Chains A and B, each alone.
Chain A
Amino acid sequence: MSSVSEPTRPHHDVDRHDVEPVNADPSDKPLYEGRKKIFPKRASGRFRRLKWIIMAVTLGIYYVTPWLRWDRGQFAPDQAVLVDMANRRFYFFMVEIWPQEFFFVAGMLVMAGIGLFLVTSVAGRAWCGYTCPQTVWTDLFLVIERFIEGDRNARIRLDNAHWSLNKIAKRVSKHAIWLVIAVATGGAWIFYFADAPTLADQFIHGEAPTVAYMTVAVLTATTYVFGGLMREQVCIYMCPWPRIQAAMLDEESLTVTYNDWRGEPRGRGKKRKAAAGVKTGDCVDCNACVVVCPMGIDIRDGQQMACITCALCIDACDEVMDKLGRDRGLISYATLSDYNLNMAMATEPGSGRIDPDRVHTDDGHIKDGFRHFRWSHLLRPRTFIYTGLWVAIGIAMLLALGMRDRLEVNVLHDRNPVFTRLSDGSVQNGYTIKILNMKPEPRTIRLGIEGLEGASMSVNEINDEPARSVAVPVDPDKLRQLKVFVTVPRDRLAAGKTSFTFSVDDQSDQEHDSYRARFEAPEN
């Protein structure tokens, strides 16, 4: 403390006490910080083009999918993608999934996880920069903002302007369009859970279920607030993803990098400086990379948590480099290992300072020997392993899907009583049998006993006369539960437990399933 403020005397005969009150303002730094407004400028270039395409495709998939039809016959819905909660069925084009087949969804999630590892190890936070809904919808909202209020400078002017009819009109129309998009976003979501045309009609006429309106309301609010008002705040403060994804990078991962080994020392007026004998790098400090950034950061500060690697700064910088006649790629997708090698070549061994002469030829281009983006970055053991795993799981799932049964039988032996003696001395066992017809068509299933010589069965509601097998009609896409009694006559009885098989067959398509069951008889 004393080194900071030397005690001084307020008056010649009064000593100043060296003390700090407990309630002294410890710092003028605020405890909470308001959001700094960001006005991203429109970028153009190959990454911006890629992002437009991805935006169109992802939004198209999201909004259009529920309206696709898929004919499954008269006994199943004709919506291509439908999560039918009420009937516990999930339809995805030719695939129909029952709740007990949920492992297919689990497998998809595992594939999504490994796919994420793969993409992240190849290209860092590509998910964040290109396909995350937060990024895509923010981008969409920015399109509206630019369309109504103009690009960066016009928006800053409008923001600073006093309230006028013009400003009010622009702001109102902007927010109104945002809200329409938000409602459409929330609205599209509910169509995945019910027949889309029916629900749309009900929704408009106020006849849809309350939960539909509530879902639309919640998703409208989140879309509007996150895409329109909070934007980068969501990524920086609310999302755990940046922390997780950043941890999955390694030094061979491609990520958006400011190549300071060729950019520094940055500065304007290069010719003047050159004339004065001051060496400068490629960066002209034009801030083009900063103004296009939707997160409002400076990529030249290095990799940082707020960077979603949307690559718009690459487009902006490449444009400037083109204008200046310099090599593209001052900001580029680069790996940390390449960057380190380039940096080592660019710096003086002793001082560690970047020497532009080590990097640039006389006509301003980059010297040979420096490493640039190569597609071969994608080919390395880690990506091969991830791809192999991903493909293996995918093939396993496809095989499982192709070979799965659409006819199943489950058997539950009565527990009380375990067996019943009948008047003629025979013994009867009761079973609850569930026959699952997982095809959307009515089927007649033959339920039979295999083994257990002399036994016969009678099924409530199906047969009065005991038989070895019975024909059971099962409704389309339904489970039929039956109460089945198997009886073994006195002279064929074996003491204790005897194994036998319940089998189900569909003679029309040869589908078959069986269940190993037990017949219980008294021990004596």
Chain B
Amino acid sequence: MSTENRDPHGREVDDVTGTETTGHEWDGIKELNTPMPRWWLWTFYATIVFGIVYTILYPAWPLVNTATSGLLNWSSRSDLSTAMAAQADANSGRIEAIKSKSIEEIAADEQLRPFAIAAGRAAFKVNCVQCHGAGAEGGEGYPNLNDDVWLWGGTLESIQTTLAHGIRYEQDDDTRISDMPAFGDGILDNEEIRDVAWYVRKLSAQEFDAEAAERGETIFVDNCSACHGDDGGGLDDLGAPALNDALWLYGGDHSQIVAQVRQPKHGVMPAWEERLGDTTVKQLTVYVHSLGGGE
């Protein structure tokens, strides 16, 4: 230690560099007290000035209930609304086109179709999933929109009408209405209802009681075929479901068919045009039509 160089103030000076040390030492390695470059100091001052200017221009200082808003009056919320407005502006041409074109024209248009499907998917997630499910897969009493069964028709036009005016939605004059009578209210007795249900099972190629189904056939022709057709094929115009296929809105078990004949359940869907407007209904139509069962 005695051979160390020292400066006039008694500070230790490093032999090799001639720089004084800070006196800090780690495992024999001593820290040199190299001065910072002066420009570094100026950049430090510049950051301070920048910071002050920033807090004047932008929201910064917390107050009791709010914060200073800054001279530029900037906020992320206004940024968002600007961005949203710009996006809406960018889409306005396609929105106008959807407004003015028929649903077939929209679906056939290479540019409009993907846009309508994307917009329809978004509208579906907000307005439709509550009943039809997130994947439009439906449930008992709520139609699955992915399959090829359509109570009121699966063409673009039919879907649009159904969406626009709803089903059994009394506030809308043009709503889809079908009203299957409650055959349990004195039209058919329990025995007849059970027989006709067995016949319906036969129509749909399910297991059935042959004897009862034979009796049920007459009952079906007299009471049901006017709407559901002689072969049980249904009729879209009346909203009468096909009874000879594999899909059942309220279930295809004998007891479920009996229940539906005796005291039918009637689903209701609101009319969406007055709520969402024509454009959104068109977008929803193209989306629903694209799900795999569109006709």
Contacts and interface: CB of A to CB of B under 8 A. Distances in A.
A375 interface: no
Contact of B35 (A30, A414, A417): A30
A424 interface: yes
Interface stretch (B60-68, B146-154, B192-200): B146-154
A416 B36 contact: no
Contacts of A424: 245-246
B37 A233 contact: yes
Contacts of B292: 420, 428, 430, 483, 485
Contact of A32 (B35, B134, B148, B245): B35
A31 B35 contact: yes
B282 to A, nearest CB: 17
B203 to A, nearest CB: 13
A4 interface: yes
A508 interface: no
A423 B148 contact: yes
A233 B85 CA distance: 48
A416 to B, nearest CB: 3
B35 A29 contact: yes
**Which of B11, B133, B147 has the most chain A CB atoms inside 10 A of its CB?**
B147
A416 B132 CA distance: 12
A428 B145 CA distance: 13
A209 interface: no
Nearest to B244: A423
Contact of A416 (B135, B148, B242): B135
A415 B136 CA distance: 12
**Which of A35, A414, A420, A430 has the most chain B CB atoms inside 10 A of its CB?**
A420
A32 B147 contact: no
A483 B35 CA distance: 67
Secondary structure type dominating chain B contacts = loop
B35 A33 contact: yes
Contact of A422 (B11, B113, B133, B148): B148
Nearest to A429: B292
A421 B9 contact: no
Contacts of A233: 37, 39
Contacts of B293: 420, 422
A34 B38 CA distance: 5
Interface in A12-64: 26-27, 29-35
Contacts of A27: 7, 9, 11, 20
Contacts of B144: 417, 420
A212 B105 CA distance: 41
Contacts of B137: 416-417, 420
B80 interface: no
A415 B135 contact: yes
Interface string B1-33: 000000101110000000010000000000001
Contacts of A166: none
B39 A420 contact: no
Contacts of B11: 26-27
A461 interface: yes
Contacts of B136: 417
Contacts of B20: 27, 29
Contacts of A237: 37, 40
A460 interface: yes
A235 to B, nearest CB: 12
A29 B36 CA distance: 12
Contacts of B41: 32
B223 interface: no
B219 interface: no
A378 B55 CA distance: 57
A29 B11 CA distance: 11
A421 B246 CA distance: 8
Contacts of B110: 461
Contacts of A4: 10
B290 interface: yes
B36 A230 contact: no
B10 A422 contact: no
B143 to A, nearest CB: 12
Nearest to B6: A4
Interface residues of B, number: 33
Contacts of B35: 29-33
Given A30-B35, A31-B35, A416-B134, A428 B146 contact: yes
B38 A32 contact: yes
Interface in A413-448: 414-417, 420-425, 428, 430
Given A4-B10, A29-B20, A420 B146 contact: yes
A1 interface: yes
B112 interface: no
B135 A423 contact: no
B49 to A, nearest CB: 17
A137 B149 CA distance: 73
B290 A32 contact: no
Contact of B290 (A30, A230, A423, A460): A460
A489 B10 CA distance: 97
A413 B113 CA distance: 22
A460 B293 CA distance: 11
B247 interface: yes
A224 B38 CA distance: 19
B12 to A, nearest CB: 12
A131 B35 CA distance: 30
A368 B293 CA distance: 94
A4 B9 CA distance: 8
Contacts of B242: 423
A35 B148 contact: no
Interface in A354-398: none
A461 B33 CA distance: 75
Interface string B120-160: 00000000000001111100000010111100000000000
A33 B147 contact: no
A35 B247 contact: no
B36 A33 contact: yes
A33 B37 contact: yes
A233 B43 CA distance: 13
Contacts of B135: 414-417
Contacts of B133: 416-417
A428 B33 CA distance: 77
A422 B246 contact: yes
A261 B234 CA distance: 107
A483 to B, nearest CB: 6
A35 B113 CA distance: 66
A420 B132 CA distance: 14
Interface string B224-251: 0000000000000000001001110000
A443 B269 CA distance: 45
Nearest to A1: B10
B125 to A, nearest CB: 12
11 contacts: A27-B7, A30-B35, A33-B37, A34-B38, A233-B39, A416-B133, A421-B147, A423-B242, A423-B245, A424-B246, A430-B146
Given A417-B136, A423-B242, A424-B245, 4 more contacts: A34-B37, A233-B39, A420-B292, A428-B147
The 10 A-B residue pairs whose C-beta atoms are closest, nearest first, are A416-B135, A423-B245, A417-B137, A33-B35, A425-B246, A420-B146, A32-B38, A34-B38, A485-B292, A417-B135
